[in-house]
Each structure stands twice: as structure tokens, then as C-alpha cells.
Amino acid sequence: MSMLIRICRRAVASLFPSARAGAALTAALALGASACSVVTGEHEAETKFLVKPTSQSTFSGWSEVSVSQDPNSVDGAELMFIRLEARDDNVPDLTFIKSITAEAVVDGVSTVVAKKSPMPTGERIVPLDREYHGDIRKFFYADEENGGYTVHVDWHGQVDLTKTIPPEGVWMRVLVAIRVE
């Protein structure tokens, strides 16, 4: 009995389009909740987002994913990791991002899921620090508008404007892994 991702909505509250990274997290949460066609074990989801230079040093955005069946139809789902990587080979590391935080939001209550600050020098692939270690199914809420269950993630952070960022921006790859029980 597979859950289907029904809709993915993204909105960016600033010029930094990081909400796509939130889509990776929420897609992974939905994948985990689906038990990946009733297959327990580890599963991954991937997406990308563009970090584009702006005159502001902060960014924020949100993303949502809805699934058709109740996430509680599996025994549990745990976030294993979220990893960022620059897709552009000309980027030596991710230090142009000063900080990043992902928060799952249910009924107006935010829970920090992962964050990172500062980014390590010389590393092109950076795992975020997992802040939430419990069952992620609790972040899904009944969503009558979409006829399913939705998870909402807010993303925010800071960009280091002293670092060189190409005018066209830097594409980031986001990999999220979950464990389904």
C-alpha cells in the first residue's frame, strides 16, 4: 500500500530560493511515511536549489508535501541525514552559506529538524546537524484541501556576502535519507 506524493508547493520569502531544499526534506519525509511501497529500511530523496547572490544576507522560504494515506500506517520513520553539495565544480566549498536551519511546522509550532553553522572550509559536501531524533510522522497533519496529509518545512539562514558567488548563483544538491520501520 503505497502513499503517493500528491502535491509539492514551494514559496520563497526572499530572493534566496532555498525552499527547494525544503522540498527534499519533505519529499523524504513523505517517502519515509509511504514505507516506500511497504518496504522497510533506508530510503533517499534528492532535489536541488539555487543560491543566488543578493544584497541581503538572510534567506527564508517554505515547502510542503502532501501524501494520500495516513503516515501512521507504518510503524515509524526517522530522519537519518540531510546533506548539501555544490553542483558547480568551480565552487571550492560551501562557506558562502553562513548558516541554514530547517524547521517542521505543525499547528503553528516549529520544531528544528536540522541546521548547520558554520560550513566547514574546503568541504564541497556538508551534512547538516540533525537536531530532531524522534519519529518524523508527527510532522504530518490532516489536510482537507489536498485530501491527504501534509508536512510543512520552513528554511532560513544567512549568506556570507564577503564570499565570491557567481552572478548566476550556485546550484546546490540536497540529499535526504530516512529509515522506515
pLDDT tens-digit map of 137-159:
898 888 888 888 777 777 788 88
Break the chain into its structural domains and give their ranges: 5-180
More confident residue, 119 or 64: 119
Lowest mean pLDDT among 8-22, 85-99, 123-137, 155-169: 8-22
**What mean pLDDT do residues 30-56 have?**
58
pLDDT tens-digit map of 47-77:
667 777 667 887 766 666 666 767 788 888 8
For the entire predicted model, the pTM comes to 0.71
More confident residue, 57 or 22: 57
CATH code: domain 5-180 is: 2.60.120
Q: Tell me which residue of 12, 11, 2, 23 sits closest to 150, measured CA to CA.
A: 23
